[in-house]
């Protein structure tokens, strides 16, 4: 049984194997203090060990915020050495999320600023509510993004737009976030429900193919990207899911994937 008694996270697993992870510090707009970061790290390790979990949705408690950033009270005490260490620690945790081999969707239900925007960027997909406001306002604190935002925002929206957002620190409302490719979808209602609906479609596909798709796309832009794609493609040609998928097509029926 997966651990449930986190202090700052709520974890729920539904019958379809979708785990909803809610960052639960609504009185501080779910700001990421050290405990939240450590519990996120622990939760993703546990999720990796739990075969029943087939996908994850991350969201924030309350109606106002996904995550309003790193905890500024904690940030204010950093010096150069501890700042670099904390930055690296957050980067490693968000990299762990990006490296998950099951889909992870951020359901952005309000403010996703600073570290909150960086957390959303570490997820594979982002679905925002119409009241979402995203952005990297670190320069207003005399800082730059430190949890991967300079890299992932640039990958998501391009260098000029990323630099504009980072240097102005301005908030990006949901519609603009969609237009510039920062989020996949904007919904009027609850983004968690929409994320689950999208996952229902993804989970109908071959699980090993989904895993390899994530692994290959994560290598995009690196020196090994094309080689990785060919290797992962070849690997899939030896799976039962490949046999089932192609046979089902030829027999004009729906595939029944075993995940092997
Ligand atoms: N950290 C700590 N507390 C916060 C944070 C935060 N990031 N955001 C909000 N809170 C707290 C407020 O202090 C307030 O607490 P209290 O009631 O005890 O005074 C409570 O949450 C509610 O917030 P507000 O009263 O401010 O709510 P408003 O609706 O008036 O405003 C905003 C909402 C606009 C979101 C506003 O709270 C705000 O501007 N928050 C800060 C946003 C921000 O600058 N985020 C970036 C932080 S820096 C960062 O994330 C760096 C990441 C990289 C770190 C690298 C490693 C070191």
Look at residues 55, 60, 69, 57 and name the one whose alpha carbon lies nearest to residue 23: 60
pLDDT surpasses 90 at 4: no
pLDDT bracket for residue 156 (50, 70, 90): very high
Q: What is the mean pLDDT of residues 5-25?
A: 97
Report the pLDDT value the prediction gives residue 132, as an integer from 0 to 100: 98
Instruction: List, in sequence order, the alpha helices (H) in 100-189.
Output: 115-122, 149-157, 159-168, 174-179
Sequence ranges of the domains in the chain: 9-202, 207-250
* Protein residue closest via CA to atom 6 of ligand 1: 71
Question: What is the pTM assigned to this prediction?
Answer: 0.98
How many A from CA of 66 to the centre of ligand 1? 12
Our measurement of the distance from residue 7's CA atom to the centroid of its chain's CA atoms, rounded to an integer in Å, reads 21
Report the pLDDT value the prediction gives residue 237, as an integer from 0 to 100: 98
Query: Residue 73: CB within 6 Å of ligand 1?
Result: yes
Task: Indicate if 138 belongs to the active site.
Answer: yes
Query: Residue 248: CB within 6 Å of ligand 1?
Result: no
Q: One of 27, 39, 49, 118 is an active-site residue; which one?
A: 118
pLDDT bracket for residue 189 (50, 70, 90): confident
Task: Tell which atom from ligand 1 comes closest to the C-alpha of 147.
Answer: 53
Report the pLDDT value the prediction gives residue 225, as an integer from 0 to 100: 97
Query: Residue 60: CB within 6 Å of ligand 1?
Result: no
Q: What is the mean pLDDT of residues 36-60?
A: 97
How many A from CA of 129 to the centre of ligand 1? 19
Q: What is the mean pLDDT of residues 6-16?
A: 97
How many A from CA of 167 to the centre of ligand 1? 19
Report the pLDDT value the prediction gives residue 32, as an integer from 0 to 100: 98
Q: What is the mean pLDDT of residues 64-76?
A: 98
Look at residues 143, 140, 139, 161 and name the one whose alpha carbon lies nearest to residue 152: 161
Query: Residue 112: CB within 6 Å of ligand 1?
Result: no
Residue 27: phi and psi, rounded to 5, are -65, -20
Compute the distance between CA of residue 32 and CA of residue 127 in angstroms, rounded to an integer.
20
Compute the distance between CA of residue 53 and CA of residue 60 in angstroms, rounded to an integer.
20
Query: Residue 132: CB within 6 Å of ligand 1?
Result: no
ipTM of the complex: 0.99
What percent of the chain is modeled with pLDDT above 90?
A: 98
* Protein residue closest via CA to atom 2 of ligand 1: 71
CB count in 10 Å sphere of residue 5: 6
pLDDT surpasses 90 at 227: yes
Sequence-distant (6+) residues with CB within 8 A of 233 are 212, 216
Query: Structure tokens of 178?
Result: 């969609």
Q: What does the pLDDT look like over 97-115, one tens digit per residue?
A: 999 999 999 999 999 999 9
Q: What is the mean pLDDT of residues 215-234?
A: 97
DSSP reduced 3-state for 64: coil
Query: Residue 69: CB within 6 Å of ligand 1?
Result: yes
Q: What is the mean pLDDT of residues 139-146?
A: 98
Q: What is the mean pLDDT of residues 154-171?
A: 98
Task: Indicate if 118 belongs to the active site.
Answer: yes
Compute the distance between CA of residue 117 and CA of residue 196 in angstroms, rounded to an integer.
20
CATH code of 9-202, in short, is 3.90.226.10
Compute the mean pLDDT over every residue in the chain, rounded to the nearest whole number. 97
């Amino acid at each position: 049984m997966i651990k449930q008694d986190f202090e700052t996270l709520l974890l729920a697993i539904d019958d379809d194997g979708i785990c909803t992870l809610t960052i639960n510090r609504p009185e501080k707009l779910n700001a990421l203090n050290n405990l939240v970061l450590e519990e996120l790290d622990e939760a993703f390790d546990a999720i990796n060990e739990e075969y029943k979990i087939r996908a994850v949705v991350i969201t924030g408690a309350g109606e106002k915020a996904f995550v309003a950033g790193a905890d500024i009270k904690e940030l204010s005490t950093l010096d150069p050495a501890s700042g670099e260490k904390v930055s690296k620690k957050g980067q490693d945790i968000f990299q762990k999320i990006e490296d998950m081999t099951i889909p992870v969707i951020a359901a952005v239900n309000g403010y996703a600023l600073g570290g909150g925007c960086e957390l959303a960027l570490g997820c594979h997909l982002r679905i925002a509510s119409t009241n979402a406001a995203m952005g990297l306002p670190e320069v207003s604190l005399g800082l730059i993004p430190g949890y991967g935002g300079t890299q992932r925002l640039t990958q998501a929206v391009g260098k000029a737009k990323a630099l504009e957002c980072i240097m102005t620190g301005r908030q990006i409302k949901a519609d603009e976030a969609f237009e510039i490719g920062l989020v996949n979808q904007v919904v009027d209602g609850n983004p968690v429900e929409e994320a689950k609906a999208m996952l229902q479609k993804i989970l109908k596909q071959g699980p090993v193919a989904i895993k390899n798709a994530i692994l290959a796309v994560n290598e995009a832009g690196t020196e090994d990207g094309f080689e990785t794609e060919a290797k992962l493609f070849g690997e899939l040609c030896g799976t039962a899911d490949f046999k089932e998928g192609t046979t089902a097509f030829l027999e004009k029926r729906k595939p029944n994937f075993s995940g092997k």
